[in-house]
Amino acid sequence: RVLQSKSYRPLGAIKDKVADVRIIAATNENLQEAVREGRFRSDLYYRLHEAVIEIPRLRDCKEDIMPLANFFLKLYDRHTDKEIKCISKEAQRALVSHTWPGNVRELKSCIMRAMLLCENEIIDVEDLQLSQSTLTEEALDFDEQERKINRERILWALKQCNGIKRDAAKMLEMSHTTFYARMKEYGIPTNKL
């Protein structure tokens, strides 16, 4: 009703209120096809279909790969005590030539993983581990990959902080309760050093 009439009635109220909102929705589903197949309501589709912004796949925007990779490098740099300065030219070529089936999320995870694995101040092609992900790219579950990387970050922070959870939580800019919840979620024993 809100989408159709731009009004709603709160529970227990006797008068309608005006809803001055815009709905922003995202999907990786082809909604026109879903409407044709009866998997998505056509009336809802036409109400939501005021303006469509199609974001191309990362592999179709190769010029965006390195600026994004450098952004993620700077973003995660403050979470590590490593002084990683840049990504090698060879690693840059590997990043640009990768197909990125997981789009920006996969690139973000790749840079995070590379920073954890990097043992000097320049990320090299071996740190990216792209050959492994390329072999199984269709089978990869990127949510699971991200979970593994987040688990590795927590373990790394615990190691850096000699097992002191409050310090590790602070290093990762998490509250102590969130840190404990993540440890539980990722199956990390609370007595883990």
Query: E strand or H helix at 8, and its extent?
Result: strand 7-8
Whether residues 71 and 135 share a domain: the answer is: yes
Do 31 and 60 lie in one domain? The reply is: no
Assess whether 80 and 10 both reside in one domain. Answer: no
Number of domains in the chain: 3
pLDDT value of position 131 = 58
The closest of 106, 110, 105 to 126, measured between CA atoms, is 110
Residue 72 CB neighbour total at 10 angstroms? 19
My answer on whether 135 and 69 are in the same domain is yes
What letter represents residue 164's amino acid?
Answer: I
Low-confidence ranges of the chain (pLDDT < 70): 131-143, 192-193
- Write out the residue range of the structural domain in which residue 33 sits: 2-48
One domain, residues 155 and 182: yes
Helix (H) or strand (E) holding 123: strand 122-123
- How many residues in total does the chain contain? 193
Q: Is 33 exposed, middle or buried (0-12, 13-18, 19+ CB in 10 A)?
A: exposed
Q: Cβ atoms within 10 A of the Cβ of 103, count?
A: 16
Determine the pLDDT at residue 70.
Answer: 95
Q: How far apart are CA 117 and CA 107, in angstroms?
A: 15
Same domain as 156, residue 134: no
User: For residues 65, 71, 74 and 78, what is the CA-based torsion angle, rounded to 10 degrees?
Assistant: -120
The predicted pLDDT at position 142 comes to 59
Q: What's the token pair of residue 60?
A: 């179709």
Domain boundary among 48, 65, 85: 48
123 and 135 both lie in a single domain? yes
